[in-house]
């Protein structure tokens, strides 16, 4: 949103499946050009993840991983939101979104953003990353992620997907 003075901010909509943040400043890059975009970074987040597979050592859960939450503390979320570069999807995509970023979708509250978006969530790996705990807050084991680059992450984008 533009506050009328050329400054922009962004907040996450309430959703249990995405990191929550409020009123984060956006920087405008290449204003009034074809490469115009808004960028922001949120540092040192405590990203919570419920594992898909049961976690060994979680003795309090009768249904596998339901009581386990893994914390990726100090996760850095970075995003770039283009305002003129169209989203691109592979021609063989089997969802309701077409290559122009148009189509039907199930949200009645939000329209699909038709432009390019790139988001990364990156964390330094090492001792206690991730930090997985049972429903009582007790550690359920050492799940340290060994990585040659000393970091792991998730990267999302809606363009250049065929490359």
- What local confidence, expressed as pLDDT, does residue 61 receive? 44
- What local confidence, expressed as pLDDT, does residue 1 receive? 44
Asked, for residue 2, whether it belongs to a domain, the answer is no
Q: Are 77 and 45 a contacting pair, CB within 8 Å?
A: yes
Q: What total of structural domains would you count in the chain?
A: 1
Q: CA 31, CA 145: separation in Å to the nearest integer?
A: 40
Q: What is the pTM of this model?
A: 0.71
Asked, for residue 88, whether it belongs to a domain, the answer is yes
Asked, for residue 85, whether it belongs to a domain, the answer is yes
- What local confidence, expressed as pLDDT, does residue 35 receive? 96
Asked, for residue 58, whether it belongs to a domain, the answer is yes
- What local confidence, expressed as pLDDT, does residue 3 receive? 43
Q: Are 71 and 47 a contacting pair, CB within 8 Å?
A: yes
Asked, for residue 78, whether it belongs to a domain, the answer is yes
- What local confidence, expressed as pLDDT, does residue 102 receive? 52
- What local confidence, expressed as pLDDT, does residue 99 receive? 44
Asked, for residue 115, whether it belongs to a domain, the answer is yes
Query: Residue 147's domain spans which residues?
Result: 8-157
Q: CA 10, CA 22: separation in Å to the nearest integer?
A: 7
Asked, for residue 77, whether it belongs to a domain, the answer is yes
Asked, for residue 3, whether it belongs to a domain, the answer is no
Q: What 3-state class would DSSP assign to 62?
A: coil
Question: pLDDT per position in the chain (163 positions), as tens?
Answer: 444 456 899 998 887 777 788 999 999 999 999 999 999 999 887 777 777 666 665 555 444 445 688 888 888 999 999 999 998 877 776 666 544 445 555 566 666 788 999 999 998 887 788 888 888 888 888 877 766 678 888 899 988 876 5
């Amino acid at each position: 949103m533009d506050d009328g003075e050329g400054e922009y901010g962004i907040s996450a909509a309430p959703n249990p499946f995405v990191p929550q943040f409020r009123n984060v400043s956006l920087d405008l890059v290449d204003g009034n050009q074809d490469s115009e975009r808004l960028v922001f970074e949120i540092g040192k987040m405590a990203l919570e993840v419920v594992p898909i597979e049961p976690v060994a050592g979680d003795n309090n859960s009768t249904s596998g991983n339901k009581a386990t939450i893994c914390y990726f503390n100090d996760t850095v979320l970075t995003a770039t939101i283009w305002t003129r570069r169209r989203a691109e999807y592979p021609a063989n995509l089997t969802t309701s979104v077409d290559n122009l970023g148009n189509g039907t979708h199930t949200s009645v509250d939000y329209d699909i953003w038709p432009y390019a978006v790139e988001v990364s969530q990156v964390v330094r790996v090492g001792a206690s990353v991730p930090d997985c705990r049972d429903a009582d807050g007790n550690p359920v084991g050492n799940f340290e992620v060994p990585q040659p680059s000393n970091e792991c992450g998730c990267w999302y984008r809606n363009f250049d997907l065929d490359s």
